[in-house]
Amino acid sequence: MFLAEFAQLAVATVVLAAVVSVTSYTVERGLRRSPDADTAFWYCFSGLCCALTVVLAAAVLFPAAVPLWLLLAAGCAAPAVWRITRRAAAAVRYQDTRGWHEAAARHDAIRVRWLAYELDPALAIDYPDMSDVSRPHTAAMLRAMKHADALRSLGPDDDGGASAYPTAVAEAAARLTEAERAAGRYPEAGPPTGRTFLPVRRTSGQ
């Protein structure tokens, strides 16, 4: 009799652990594929109903084991809950810093555009004003660049720097365009709005 009861207890324990583990895996996988709260809810609800059915049915024979089963269920679900919570927190952080990362991408493009005047000998000869800090527009551009660099170094988690960084990048882009125009890189009207231009060498005869 003792062996039969022990076998029943063991079977109930294994079934409960399997139900909770499968439910946790299904919910986690479903949220990875599609962050749909309704789908996750129904997965959880179905798994909870199955787990409670096992616990209530087995509790008739082994009422003293109910607290242990509840601890077992919590232990089986805890890793998935931790991973889901961490993934959700990371998604929230990314959304909060999305504007910063987009500004960083624009900042990188501006750096490439400006460094071409420093690293390309032909452009340095054609547009010397772009490296001449005595030129007002060039000096203003360099100040704006340094300001954007300083804010970027604070990272996306700095509240003050993160909010000011996109504005600083836009200011640096505007000052770069003005410096290029003053150096004769663009016509007086400047580059068309909404497009990014990389420096192009002037050929003989132009």
| pLDDT tens column, 64-107 | 777 877 787 888 788 878 887 887 777 777 776 788 889 999 99
Give kind and range of the element (H or E) at residue 194: none
**Domain total of the chain:** 2
Asked if 67 and 108 sit in the same domain, the reply is no
Length of the chain: 206
Q: State the sign of the Cα–Cα–Cα–Cα dihedral 134, 137, 138, 142.
A: positive
Asked if 10 and 89 sit in the same domain, the reply is yes
* Burial of residue 105 (number of CB atoms within 10 Å: 0-12, 13-18, 19+): exposed
Asked if 144 and 169 sit in the same domain, the reply is yes
* pLDDT band per the 50, 70, 90 thresholds, residue 149: very high
- Please compute Rg for the chain using Cα positions: 31
Asked if 62 and 117 sit in the same domain, the reply is no
pLDDT at 184 over 60: yes
The CA distance from 97 to 103, in Å, is 10
Asked if 129 and 92 sit in the same domain, the reply is no
Beta strand segments in 40-195, E: none
Asked if 85 and 23 sit in the same domain, the reply is yes
Provide the residue range defining the domain that includes 55.
Answer: 2-96
Structure pTM? 0.50
**Residue 145 domain-assigned (yes or no):** yes
> How many CB atoms within 10 Å of residue 123?
19
Mean pLDDT of 137-164: 89
Chosen domain end from 96, 123, 143: 96
pLDDT at 138 over 90: yes
pLDDT at 1 over 50: no
pLDDT for the residue numbered 198: 53
Give the range among 45-54, 116-125, 173-182 with minimum mean pLDDT. Answer: 45-54
SS3 193: coil
Residue 116, sorted as left (phi over 0), alpha (psi -120 to 50) or beta, turns out to be: alpha
pLDDT for the residue numbered 66: 79
pLDDT at 19 over 60: yes
pLDDT for the residue numbered 143: 95
Chosen domain end from 96, 128, 157: 96
Mean pLDDT of 34-44: 71
* pLDDT band per the 50, 70, 90 thresholds, residue 181: very high
**Residue 191 domain-assigned (yes or no):** no
Asked if 9 and 89 sit in the same domain, the reply is yes
